[in-house]
């Protein structure tokens, strides 16, 4: 797993043991209750969904596919519980930062 491979140097690589599990758990919590997202950043200062995107880019194709399936369930729930902010639709922010709870 990418976490074990980079645990010796997570500050540079961006992952530590358990990072992906922590980010996935946090993203699940945010997806269920989008109003708390501003209070639940990753401990490294990155948004959990951003860390998951980094993980998708860093893991092998089969692992990325499995991880993407897990993430997509929470993405779908987040989209169901939020609405697009019309003022940010052309923003350079990630898609999850362009939505707010209703």
Sequence-distant (≥ 6) Cβ neighbours of residue 51 within 8 angstroms: 14, 19, 20, 23, 42, 44
pLDDT, residue 13, reads: 55
Q: How far is CA 9 from CA 1, 12, 16, 46, 93, in A?
A: 14, 6, 8, 17, 28
Per-residue pLDDT of the chain (102 residues; tens, 9 = 90+): 554 454 455 555 568 788 899 999 999 999 999 988 665 656 667 889 999 999 999 888 999 999 999 999 999 999 999 999 888 767 788 999 899 888
Residue found by looking up tokens 């930062």 in the block: 97
Phi, psi of 33 (to 5 degrees): -135, 75
Length, in residues, of the chain: 102
pLDDT, residue 92, reads: 86
pTM of the model: 0.81
pLDDT, residue 4, reads: 46
Q: Which domain holds residue 71?
A: 2-101
When divided into structural domains, the chain yields a total of 1
């Amino acid at each position: 797993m990418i976490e074990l491979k980079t645990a010796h140097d997570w500050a540079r690589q961006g992952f530590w043991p358990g990072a992906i599990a922590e980010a996935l758990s946090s993203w699940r919590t945010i997806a269920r209750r989008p109003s708390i997202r501003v209070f639940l950043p990753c401990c490294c200062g990155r948004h959990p969904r951003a860390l998951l995107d980094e993980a998708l880019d860093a893991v092998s194709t089969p692992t990325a596919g499995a991880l993407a399936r897990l993430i997509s369930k929470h993405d779908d729930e987040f989209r169901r519980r939020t609405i697009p902010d019309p003022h940010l639709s052309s923003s350079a922010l990630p898609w999850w930062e362009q939505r707010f709870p209703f």
